Structure 1
Amino acid sequence: MTHVRLEHANITVSDPERTARWMNKVFGWNIRWQGGAIHQGRSIHMGEPDSYIALYGPKEAPTKGGDSYTHINGLNHLAVVVGDLDAVETRVSEAGFTPVNHADYEPGRRFYFRDHDGIEFEVVQYD
């Protein structure tokens, strides 16, 4: 089989610009593209040269879903691999989010946090 990789994920957020700002401060990601999107919405692509997260904001204010772990098509969390877990945790806290569920496990360390839209992120550093 040829090499297969995930290029991007597309998530709905309440304010793409706000989410893009904290992603830049916390992860150092930059805007790869931004513009109009489906249903007269707006998208901002944040990430690295070979992968990104598309932040979609609909024209009308989106509604909150239920607990992602209890319904089909829920997004449980997005995981981001970093080189310095402690430094990223500091930036997560400075952005106003609360790191939780810290764990050391084979082969690395991790913590989770939820952003202002309740989207859960896992941050992991592999040894």
Structure 2
Amino acid sequence: MAFPGLQHVAITVSDLERSARWYSALFGAEPVLDEDEEGGRFHHAVYALDGGMLFGLHTHQGRESGDRFAEERTGLDHISFAVGSQADLQQWARKLTELGIAHDGIKKAHYGSGISFRDPDNIALEFFAFPEG
């Protein structure tokens, strides 16, 4: 039996309104869902990305720690979005710059190339392309 791929990623944010504006600009789309969870434990705004992947922003009705993200803590290190080519990476670098999102440019390694950046809660994000050819 093959192991299934990821269907969605959900992250906890400190300010849903601020993060929804930021991610809407990054994704070039509005959430497809923005509602309280049935049991009232959390509220989520969910984006539909290409390939059927969902990306959710969660708040936990004021129970969030308020701490900024740090990849050194046990748990999430970063989220990486797949792009098809070096040309795509260059386009994303330009888009991040246009949006005023700080990044460190394209970094190349033998296993691929990526652009790292952070969201308003300091969550580490990346655009990544495997080597071409």
The TM-score, its normalising length taken from structure 2, stands at 0.76
Cα RMSD (Å):
2.5
What is the number of equivalent residue pairs in this alignment? 125
Please point out which of 45, 57, 60 is paired with 1:58: 60
Structure having the higher strand fraction is 1
Q: 1:80 to 1:59 in 2, by over 3 A?
A: same
Q: Do the aligned partners of 2:93 and 2:106 also contact (CA within 8 Å) in 1? A: no
Matched, 1:8 2:8: yes
Q: Which residue of 2 aligns with 1:47?
A: 48
Greater alpha carbon shift after TM alignment, 108-117 vs 32-41: 32-41
Whole-Å Cα distance in 1 between the matches of residues 54 and 17 of structure 2?
A: 15
Q: Structure 2: any 5+ residue segments left out of the alignment?
A: none
For residues 5-31 of structure 1, the C-alpha deviation after alignment (integer angstroms, 9 at most, x for no partner) is 100111101223332333232233542
Q: Do the aligned partners of 1:113 and 1:121 also contact (CA within 8 Å) in 2? A: yes
Name the amino acid aligned to 1:92.
L
Whole-Å Cα distance in 1 between the matches of residues 118 and 46 of structure 2?
A: 20
Name the amino acid aligned to 1:21.
R
**Percentage identity across aligned positions?**
26
The TM-score, its normalising length taken from structure 1, stands at 0.79
Q: Which residue of 1 aligns with 2:99?
A: 95
Name the amino acid aligned to 1:19.
S
Q: 1:114 to 1:66 in 2, by over 3 A?
A: closer
Q: 1:109 to 1:29 in 2, by over 3 A?
A: farther
